[in-house]
Structure 1
Amino acid sequence: MKKEEEKASRFRTTFRLIQRMTWGFILVLVFSFAVYLGNRAYRELQVSSTFRVKTIAIRGNHTLSRKDLIYYLGLNENSNLLTLDLKSLYRKLISHPWIKNASIHRSLPSTLSIDIEERVPVALIKLGKFYYMDKDGVIFDKINKDVGCDFPVFTGPRDFSEVSAYFPLITEALSILNRKTGLIISEFHLDLNHGITLITLNDALPVRLGRKDLSRRFRRFQTVYHYLRRREIPIKTIDCRYPDRVVVKYIHNASEGKREKTG
């Protein structure tokens, strides 16, 4: 009796093991078949005309042309939307010197949407050659004929290796430039010892602002400058580096005299 029970127990154990193995085998077959069908379906989608790129929607480009952007990204309207590597395309977008921010996404079944934020030049900086600079002080591209060179010029650093030392002065000068003052500035000359000298466009007037308290000094300069301009008094230089006064050098025909005006 005992032997029969042991035999029955072994049989049940073996049966359960075979049952588990059978179900495991069936699950493996089902999973493999599902993977096969999925891969086959994906391959079919990759060549399907349904997901072929028919529209490339680009927004935010003002300087960069649509044609140049599509060529830069290596896109064409026969690409399959599902096979495009969006991460790679995004990295390529933000590596472009004129692009500050970007996003790219698919709009099924056939549209690739690209949104960009371009850098806007507000000045040129002379570093051997002339380069565009945006309001944040980012130097991003050499000048070209399409954008032109009608911008204030920053001088001082001789090349890119010196820019970091001058960056605090660049930032201060840009904060002046970004104000809505109505004053047109042709040049900011930067000097590590003497600070900032700006030169006005209309009368090529050098204005020495120095290194410290630049916001207050610039306001004092504006007050003095507009006062003298209303009276049509010819000026040679204005020096705002003194704590208690603004020093103005006037022009009197052939002779030059120097007087002081407190600002």
Structure 2
Amino acid sequence: MGLFNNNPRANTATARKQNRRVQQARPRPVPAPAPVARKPAVAAGVKGVRVNRRVDAPRAGAKPAVQGPRVGLRQMVAAVPRVGARGRRFFSLAARLAIALTLAWGVLLAVQSGYQYVTTSARFEAKSLVFQATPHVPVDRLQALLGLEPGTNILAVDTDALQAKIAAEPWVKRASVQRSLPDTLIVEVEEHEAAAALLSGYFYLIDRDGVPFKRLEDGERGELPVITGVDREQLVAGDARAQAAIRRGLTALNEYQSTPRPRLSEVHVDEGGAVALYTAKTGAALRLGRGDVAPKLARFDALRAALGERAEQLAVVHLDLDATPGTPERVVASFLDPAAEAAVLARGAGAQKPVAKDIVEAPGAKEQGPVAPAPAKGKPGKGKKKKAATGNKFASGIPKYD
């Protein structure tokens, strides 16, 4: 047979066999697996952040982790889109309030713990007392008023209560209690200074401001003069007239005591404000009347200088006589001793200047005016001797005790 067979059927079968061999030799195509989508390490929604694919690439067979930036309070609030602007503001305020309450609670606990420590520590135990004793509040009396038990913590002491307790003492005008850490109390006390005694139903001690601060007890008066003539009902009611009478009496008393003069036992103030002073030794009455007392006491000083030793025999001296313009000032006086009165009258009768019948000029008192007795009916000085007030009455006639 030749190389080529002219039989078409044979050629077709041969071609089929050859095609089968070629098909068997060629490999069959295998479909490639679907590519795995890689997730970026950084959220795609964040702008301006570059992704390092080599570093942030996920491991084989492992799910890549997503790392985002740190989210603050504002981002958390902004991440709630459904509540709106009002909801976000409310959430922000609620978060801030919670933080503030937490901090306040912590501070409160710290303060409570610190207070508990300092109020129970032995380091702050009250051990020392600094106090300058006063005449009527000695140290033992002050300790009794304080009433501090051993071991009392100085920070647990109520200084206001102790201060009020000390100030309630009759003689105490003002009190102060202060702490000096770690263990000392400083107490300052100012007492009333008694200026006179006041008789208004009961006896009281009054200070220089005219304030009655306690009832008079035995041995407390000493040589203090007594102010009389103040109505008790007005005093209890706080009437201004009672206060005015007390101030009037204190003014006359202070002016009288500004210069060495005989000691007084009584200062009487009547309803109209007229003042009468009574000496302690002889009970001599000095009628000052109303108005300024300084010039009237100057007349009394001139009269005493003119009379010399006989001034101790004065019974009543009227210093409230107002002279008419162009005439000398007058002082009318009467004496306890008729002999002293007669001697003064005799000296006045021999004076060169003519004077009135009822006026006698005292020697050495020409600048101050004449001196005359007061020989009126019913008054001492006309042959009668007036004794100093004794018993249970003052020189003004007011009973000493109700």
**Could you say which TM-score interval applies, normalised by the shorter chain?**
0.7 to 0.9
Change (3 A) 1:226 1:49: farther
Matches within 5 A, 1:6-155: 12-14=75-77, 25=98, 28-59=101-132, 61-145=134-218, 147-155=220-228
How far the C-alpha of 1:151 sits from its partner, in A, is: 1.1
Would you tell me which structure has more strand in proportion to its own residues?
1
The higher relative CO (CA closer than 8 Å, separation ≥ 6) is in 1
For residues 113-147 of structure 1, what are the alpha-carbon distances to aligned partners after superposition, in whole Å with 9 as ceiling and x for unaligned?
A: 11121101121111222111111111110122463
Worse-matched range after superposition: 8-17 or 41-50: 8-17
Structure 2 Cα separation of the partners of residues 167 and 203 of structure 1? 29
Q: CA deviation at 1:22?
A: 7.0
Higher deviation after alignment, 113-122 or 232-241: 232-241
Match of 2:232 in 1: 159
For structure 1, which runs of at least 5 residues remain unmatched after alignment?
A: none
**Secondary structure at 2:179's aligned position in 1?**
strand
Indicate the SS of the match to 1:61.
coil
Distance in 2, Cα, partners of 1:174 & 1:137: 7
The answer to whether the Cα contact below 8 Å between 1:70 and 1:76 also exists between their aligned partners in 2 is no
Q: CA contact under 8 A between 1:132 and 1:143: conserved in structure 2? A: yes
Is 1:196 the counterpart of 2:269 in the alignment? no
Query: Secondary structure, in 3 states, of the residue corresponding to 2:182?
Result: coil
Equivalent in the alignment of 2:244: 168
- Which protein shows a greater Rg? 2
Q: Structure 2: which amino acid aligns with 1:167?
A: Q
TM-score (norm 2): 0.56
Q: How far apart, in 1, do the equivalents of 2:207 and 2:340 lie?
A: 42
Contact 2:265-2:279 within 8 A present in 1 as well: yes
Bigger Cα displacement from structure 2, 136-145 vs 12-21: 12-21
Partner residue, 1:218: 297
State the 1:172 CA deviation. Answer: 3.2
Matched residue, 1:238: 317
Aligned residues of 1:250 and 1:259 also touching (Cα < 8 A): no
Deviates more, 1:65-74 or 1:150-159: 65-74
Aligned residues of 2:287 and 2:319 also touching (Cα < 8 A): yes
Deviation of the 1:224 alpha carbon: 1.5
Q: Deviations over 1:46-103 (max 9, x none)?
A: 1222212112222362222222233334444543211222233333444443222332
Please give the alpha-carbon distance, in whole angstroms, between the structure 2 residues aligned to 1:240 and 1:104: 51
Q: Does the residue aligned with 2:217 lie in a helix, a strand or coil?
A: coil
Q: Distance in 1 between matches of 2:74 and 2:155?
A: 53
Deviations 1:154-187 (A, max 9, x none): 1112425247414334223323333332221111
Partner amino acid, structure 2, of 1:181: T
- C-alpha distance in structure 2 between counterparts of 1:153 and 1:174, whole Å: 10
CA distance in 2, matches of 1:27, 1:71: 48
2:381 corresponds to: none
- Compared CA separation, residues 186 and 14, structure 1 to 2 (3 A): same
Backbone CA RMSD of aligned residues: 3.5
CA contact (8 A) 1:169 1:211 kept: no
Query: Which region of structure 1 is more displaced relative to structure 2, 222-231 or 15-24?
Result: 15-24
